Amino acid sequence: MVLSKREYKNLEDLVYGYVTKNKAGFNADEEKELLKQFPNINMDKYYNVLKGITCVMDENGIVTYHCDIFNALVCGLENRDQRVEEWD
């Protein structure tokens, strides 16, 4: 499945508009809550995108940047690996 332009934009709005404790991105609990919205996502593809990413830490632990969560969601939903041009 390939996301339509509308689905892609809606996903982008959801991820970048998601209220997180840290403005840099998602802590583990926030990521788990977000993922509940996607019960049919390919979690292997999702987690493959998150291997080797950069992140930050705060008092709540590791914070994953919005862009990495977004790319992981796209790949998981489209059931594919990350493309070279999607690396940041």
What are the two backbone dihedrals, phi and then psi, of residue 38, each rounded to the nearest 5 degrees?
Answer: -130, 70
What pLDDT digit, counting tens, does each position of 20-48 carry? 999 999 999 999 999 999 999 999 999 99
Look at 87 and 8; give whichever has higher pLDDT: 8
Distance separating alpha carbons of residues 1 and 57, to the nearest angstrom: 34
What pLDDT digit, counting tens, does each position of 43-68 carry? 999 999 999 899 999 998 999 999 99
**Residue 7 in this model has a pLDDT that exceeds 90:** yes
**Residue 88 in this model has a pLDDT that exceeds 80:** no
Domain count, the chain: 1
Range of the domain at 58: 5-86
| 8 Å CB contact between 60 and 21 | yes
**Residue 19 in this model has a pLDDT that exceeds 80:** yes
